Amino acid sequence: MGLMSKPKKTHIVTLSFDDGFKKSFYETAEIFESFKLRACLNVIAQGHSENFVPKVNGQPDTGLVSSPKGDFSDWNALKNRGHEVMAHTYDHTNLTTIPLEAAKRDIDRCVAEFEKNLMGFKAKDSVYNFAYNASNPELDAYALSKFLVVRSHGNTAVNPIPTKREPVRIGCWSHGPENCDEVFDATLNEFLASPGGWFVFNTHGLDGEGWGPMSSRYLRSLLSRLIRLEHVAVLPAGEVVLNLPK
């Protein structure tokens, strides 16, 4: 097919996987590979550390602690295989619950850890994914001063498709704590029936791992359906912006 006859992609679907569960992330990568797609994987700098005890409202975040996380050797291996591996915070702190200056230092620590440990990582070409998709305008602005794309909560899961390579905040939806297959499917179908845009949905592990996981069976059927739709592109978040003209 020549370049001129390429159908226009009016609908971009970004399905991102957060938290860095070792088992699920390798399996997710394999599933995307089987459709010649790149997975969108977001990992926590300190996720593999023994001292990693994330808390929600002061309580241990049990779903996040109980399953083994990978480390940067895993993330470099998956990046080498062509997948997009991006930052999902330094240690999964909800940055809206700590003072702004401390939150900024936390983002700086995240940048430093990823630039040190993940091959080829430069924040200005990368995506920052807030823990719990929790942020505020000050935090968004600070993260946007360091990163190309900043992902947080959205009133809608549909964002405008960017036309320039410049810093952009995207909103996403997720659903949990139970399996998200049905909610995802309904939300996606609404998007596919719309005139278009950039749909961003955030899940975690597969088959019961993590908060609001997707089933591997659904993921396979989803990707096999989406790659047949000529107007739809399934892309990791960074790639949507990174390849645009400045």
Which spans of this chain sit near Zn ion (rule: CB under 5 A)? Answer: 18-19
Rounded least distance, CB 25 to Zn ion, Å:
13
**Phi-psi category of residue 188: left, alpha or beta, with phi > 0 → left and psi -120 to 50 → alpha:** alpha
Distances from the Cα of 140 to the Cαs of 62, 83, 137, 228, in angstroms? Answer: 27, 25, 5, 36
Q: Which is nearer to Zn ion, 174 or 232 (CB)?
A: 174
Q: Which is nearer to Zn ion, 131 or 168 (CB)?
A: 131
Q: Which residue is nearest to Zn ion (CB)?
A: 18
Residue type for position 65: V
CA 20 centroid distance within chain: 11
Q: Which is nearer to Zn ion, 19 or 27 (CB)?
A: 19
Rounded least distance, CB 223 to Zn ion, Å:
22
Rounded least distance, CB 170 to Zn ion, Å:
16
Rounded least distance, CB 189 to Zn ion, Å:
26
Closest C-alpha to 86, from 141, 25, 33, 138: 25
CB 223 within 8 A of CB 195: no
Q: Which is nearer to Zn ion, 142 or 211 (CB)?
A: 211
